[in-house]
Amino acid sequence: MTRFIHLTDLHVSHPDANDPKDMGTSRAALKRVVGAINAMDPQPEFVVASGDLTNMGDVASYGLVRDLLAPLKAPVVLSIGNHDLRAGFREVFSGDKGDAPYFHDVVHGNLHVITLDTKVPEKVAGSICDAQFAFLSEALERHANLPKLIVMHHPPRVDDTGLPWGTIDLAATERLATALKGQNIAGILSGHIHINQVHYWNGIPICINSGLNYTVDLLERQDLRLLEGTTMTICEHRASGLSVSFVPLSPAQADLGTIDRARLLAFT
């Protein structure tokens, strides 16, 4: 089994970034979740942060994200979201210049993690460029014995009637479905929509959590009502497939009591 953590939509802003939407809550949420992950026993194999690492894409905010993530005991896999700016991200995390899409792959545990960059400059919606589809084709041939975990900020479009800004575009969705057909895909990790949600898309689970900034009122069907609430996901991949558990981080929940382990093991 490979256990890992999925974080998304950190939306961190440095106090000096002059972000009009900054209330300091994202910094506090990230610091808290790093402590919670470090306290886990056993430790996860790795941690994924699937985009919108910052709210404004400035270098100072990426530096703060780097510093807040630095205490993590587990290695971190990062991806780019629509709020991110590639030049600022690359300066801090890659040590290079330019604003080319950021995509890569790595093996952690028994999973081959393939990270795509779905950002479209000046747009809320996402897509996947030709260069990344070429990279994906090659990456899927590597580590043939390992299941593939795809990380992409915008999820594929599973509902043609849904709001188009909430996903990658339909053409990229169809092209991705073709590229992944017949492959051993453990799952897709996404964010962007600030909702705890799992889709089953062409036989592949798409796992989304609400992130570390806010969540969305699912009972409001007309407007987009934002609510207090942050979440991380504990993911476990076994030979039988992917399991996900949503862990609410805020608002704080009342403690109703504890059933000790000895009693738990005695239940039949």
At residue 95, does pLDDT exceed 90? no
Q: Quote the tokens at residue 121.
A: 């400059």
220 vs 241: CA distance, rounded Å = 33
- pLDDT bin (cut points 50, 70, 90) of residue 19 is very high
How confident is the model over 52-79, as pLDDT tens digits?
999 999 999 999 999 999 999 999 999 9
Higher-pLDDT residue of 160, 234: 234
Tell me which residue range forms the domain holding 197: 2-266
pLDDT of amino acid 160: 85
pLDDT of amino acid 97: 87
Decide: residue 32, CB within 10 A, 0-12 exposed, 13-18 middle, 19+ buried: middle
At residue 51, does pLDDT exceed 90? yes
Number of domains in the chain: 1
| CA neighbor of 188 nearest in space, from 129, 130, 118, 240 | 118
- pLDDT bin (cut points 50, 70, 90) of residue 162 is confident
Query: Residue 29 is part of a domain; what is its CATH number?
Result: 3.60.21.10
